[in-house]
Structures are given as structure tokens and as C-alpha cells.
Structure 1
Amino acid sequence: MTNSKPAKTGNSASPQTNRAQKNRPQNNRAQTNNRAQNSRTQKSNTAASGSSLMPLLLVLIFLAGLIGAAQQHMLPYGIAGMYLTLSLLTFIAYAIDKSAAKRGKWRTKESTLHLLALMGGWPGALFAQNVLRHKSVKASFRNVFWLTVVANLAVLGYGIKTGAVDMFI
């Protein structure tokens, strides 16, 4: 007669064993994944909360200023129309890129998005970054984006000052 106990399996553990397992720390990989996910969520929330109404107000003031300047014959309507059209196209490009990113499909090149912003679509890009929360966290992209905004406004200002925008009448 042997006094051997049957081997315990994971399914037949006693209540004491289950309590002990519940008190054990989780798997390190699971903790790391949870931390990474929380970090991404915090970044996303920070981007959302950090994206105040200021950029959207900037877009609205700029576009309203363009339309007002055109109505006062200080600027051709074509310039205001160009900015509105390019802004809409740029917003659509951001929306398509965001959709592609979510589905893991072919993406729009960052240089294409920057070119659209440089040509005058920056109000639509800024609106898309805040509303769609796309391309709003990556610092290198944002830095180049703001350079395109400054360059575009400098060209617009130069065109107004020299009268070069009058050729669009």
C-alpha cells in the first residue's frame, strides 16, 4: 500500500490556492502592455484636451478675415476661394489618411500633407488635426506643419504688400 497523493492540476486547486494566486502580481508582460496602453490613452487624452479651441478659433478668424478682406476689395475673392478649397481638400486628405491608418492600409505621405498645407490648406489641416485627432501628437510632423503655416502666411503677406495677389482678380 502506497501513500502517494494524486498530483494536483490547475483545475482542481483548492480555494486556498486560488486565493494565493489572486494575490500574486500579474504577468510582467501584461503589466507592461497595460502601462503602454494607459500611456497611449493618456497621450490621446492629452492631445484631445490640449487641443483647445484656440487653433479652431485661429482658423475661423483667418478665414473670416480673408472673406472680409475680399468683400472690402482688399483681396481678390479668388484668394479666399483658394484657401477655402484647399482647406477642404486638405481636411479630406487627413480624413482619408486617418481612415487608412485605422485599417492598416496605404497611407498618405507626410510630405503630401505638408505640401497641401503650404499651398494654403493649412486651415483645413489644423481643423482636421483638432477634430479628427490625426497627426496632432507627432512632434516632428507638427514642427514642419507650423513652418508651412508661417511660410504660407509670409507669401500671402508679401503678395498683398507688393500687389502680386491682384493677378488673381
Structure 2
Amino acid sequence: MDYLTPETITYYLIAINFVAFAAFGIDKARAEGGRRRTSEADLLAFALLGGTPGAYAGRALFRHKTRKQPFSNRLFLIAVGQGALLVFWLVFRS
């Protein structure tokens, strides 16, 4: 059985982007409430696993982690790396 179909990849990307978006919202709410936070490593991991658009959307909507320069740089590097992989795949696919 082939599990890497366009359909399953699409479902995965929808799910991971929802998770990344929600994680930013939950972390913002926890920050405002003085409660235990989601680690920056976990937020970046969601982006690295394919949730970069959701991470950027959550970051913008919730205005969360926008002034943290090291975090912003790491998120940007993940996005650039994913973009480069996408271009590489599009150019060299057979």
C-alpha cells in the first residue's frame, strides 16, 4: 500500500498547519494568564514538520513571538529551507 498519496499529504499538511496555528494561540493565552508555556522548540518543530504557514498565520493573528528576534530568524530559516526543498523537488522531479 502506498500511504504517500496526494490526498494523504494534503490531509497531513492541513492538520499540521492547524496544530501550528492553534499552538501559537494557546501559547499566547497561557502567556497572558501567567501559566506554563509551550516551548519555542515545540513551536518551531510544528513549523519544521510542515506547519510554517499555520505558524506564520498564528503569529500574525495572535501577535505572538513577533519581537523575539532569534525565534523570528529561526522561523524564517525554516521557511526558506522548505521553499528551497520545494523548488528542488519541482525542478528535479521525474
Matches within 5 A, 1:1-169: 76-160=6-90, 161-162=92-93
Amino acid at match of 2:12: M
State the shift of 1:159 in Å: 4.0
Larger Rg: 1
Distance in 2 of aligned mates of 1:151 and 1:84: 20
Shift in Å, 1:82:
2.0
Give ranges in structure 2 of 5+ residues lacking alignment: none
Higher relative contact order (CA 8 A, sep 6+): 2
Q: Deviations over 1:62-103 (max 9, x none)?
A: xxxxxxxxxxxxx82333322211110001111111111011
Identity, % of aligned positions: 34
Alignment length, in residue pairs?
89
The RMSD of aligned alpha carbons is 1.9
Deviations 1:95-117 (A, max 9, x none): 11111101111111101111110
What letter matches 2:59 in structure 1? Answer: Q
Distance of 1:80 and 1:150 partners within structure 2 = 20
Aligned to 1:32: none
Structure 1 unaligned spans of 5+? 1-74, 164-169
The alignment's TM-score, normalised by the length of structure 2, stands at 0.82
- Normalised by the length of structure 1, the TM-score is 0.48
Aligned partners of 2:54 and 2:61: how far apart in 1?
10
1:78 is paired with a residue whose SS is helix
Q: Say if 1:97 and 1:107, in contact at 8 Å, map to a contact too.
A: yes
Cα displacement string for residues 112-166 of structure 1 (whole angstroms, at most 9, x for unaligned residues): 1111101110111110111111111211111100001112223334444336xxx
Structure 1 moving runs of 4+ over 4 Å: none
